[in-house]
Structure 1
Amino acid sequence: MQTKTNGSNDGRQWARSDATRQALLTAALQVFADRGYTEAGIADIVKLSGVSVGSLYHHYGGKAGLYLALWEELTGEQETRAVNTVAAARKSGVSDPIALFIAGARTYLGVCWERREAARLFHGGEGPPGFSLMRRKRARVWLGANTRLLRGQDGDHAAQVLSLVLTTVIGEAGREIALADDEASATAIIDEVCRILQRLAGEEPSAPA
């Protein structure tokens, strides 16, 4: 009986901690979006979240930790959903590397719209010290993954350049999609970007459905 009670208590404690973290992230995103990273204050985040200052520092260590956690959450979702889309396309029989790349890109860009408030924040370029370096490192990893998806090998400069061009287009397009006025506009941008990616990759864009 004691084991069951402890397990139940552990579960409730975990749930409370998860709810606390989510409340802090939600409040931090709103405060960062309204004021920017530099002007955002811990007191504002605490007040909006209803969570204590001590809990904020316990879970995230301060304002910078919250900002980076939001960034990791967004980029993690973008990458995971893009990878899952590519895997599903492969499973359905798609083998052309460009088609797989564009399928992943479409999903990635879709997240830019779905999570547009966060995407706008990080495209703004502001952040804690060291954030720019972290973004560059993450971009290099993403570029390498895209090069491999396009079946490029080490030393394959043509594939590396193609990956760089296509990845840069996607990154810049994400900014415009996050700033779109409505879902229809965002969808139109995504469709056009995918056609541009096909042309840059040397393939004739398919007719819209």
Structure 2
Amino acid sequence: MARTSDTRQETSSAAPGQPLSKRALATRNALLDGARRVFAANGFEGATISEIVASSGTSVGSLYNQFGGKEHLFLELHRRHSGWLWAATQQAIEGAREAGERDPFRIYLAGARAYLLGCWDERDLARLFLSGDNPPGFDAIARSGLRRWIDQNMGVLQLEGRRFGEALAAAVTGVVAAGARQIVECATREEATELTDYFATLVSRLAQPIE
């Protein structure tokens, strides 16, 4: 699934609710692309404003005007990455349903596989956000995101009202999260696919709710 540019951005260079000009949007995207390269290479703490500006071909003034600092660049990259993974997962889930699949577990596995391989496809960012080298406040954002995945998995697996349903949703979410940490280190997509199959097997052993 290809990443698409998100033009619905908030910025200090445009009034609230107003779209960015083409020039401002191009600058913003250049800064995000440059920051991605620098953060992936050096981590959040190791990245400097001057490196991001040089990598993006913009200016210090543009960076502060658009984002206010490297913290918000990092958080915007995370927001886009999370949104992309969420969309890829939803697309796989809906694809399984449209293909006639009715087993909630198999539908869930389609989404989990898409998530894990999506982490490999964007492993530079996935590795960055899993590293623990993050700006202040990021942990709260990560916890909120985890809660969203658990809630989705509760729904897909049809666990609402079932004994230990939330615990099971949290457990399978945790296994997939652990899988992501391993998969981003795979050397090839073939290796990532094999490891995805392994974690799918682990989830299959876990995913039967206790009555």
Pairwise TM-score range, normalised by the shorter structure: 0.7 to 0.9
Q: 1:24 aligns with which of 17, 25, 31?
A: 31
1:155-174 per-residue CA deviation (whole Å, 9 max, x = no partner) reads 53422111111100111111
**1:64 CA displacement:** 0.5
Structure index of larger Rg: 1
Structure 1 residues 158 and 61: CA distance shift in structure 2, 3 A: same
Distance 2:73 2:197 in 1: 33
Equivalent in the alignment of 1:4: none
1:125-178 per-residue CA deviation (whole Å, 9 max, x = no partner) reads 11111101110111111111111111122x534221111111001111111111
Distance 1:79 1:186 in 2: 19
Q: 1:163 aligns with which of 163, 169, 180?
A: 169
Tell me if 1:57 matches 2:72.
no
**1:85 CA displacement:** 1.2
Q: How does 1:147-186 map to 2 (within 5 A)?
A: 147-153=154-160, 156-186=162-192
**1:94 CA displacement:** 0.9
Distance 1:59 1:91 in 2: 41
Note if contact 1:150-1:159 (Cα within 8 Å) is conserved in structure 2. Answer: no
Q: 2:127 aligns with which of 109, 113, 120?
A: 120
In structure 2, stretches of 5+ residues that fail to align are 1-19
In structure 1, stretches of 5+ residues that fail to align are 1-12, 204-209
1 or 2, which has the higher helix percentage? Answer: 1
Query: Match for 1:101: what amino acid?
Result: Y
Distance 2:112 2:149 in 1: 12
Aligned length: 190
**1:198 CA displacement:** 1.4
Question: Structure 1 stretch 190-199 or stretch 67-76: which is displaced more?
Answer: 190-199
**1:202 CA displacement:** 3.8
Distance 1:103 1:51 in 2: 41
TM-score, structure 1 as length reference: 0.86
Distance 1:112 1:131 in 2: 19
Distance 1:18 1:157 in 2: 49
Structure 1 residues 150 and 121: CA distance shift in structure 2, 3 A: same
Distance 1:35 1:197 in 2: 34
Equivalent in the alignment of 1:92: 99
| 4+ long deviations beyond 6 Å | none
Distance 1:57 1:156 in 2: 50
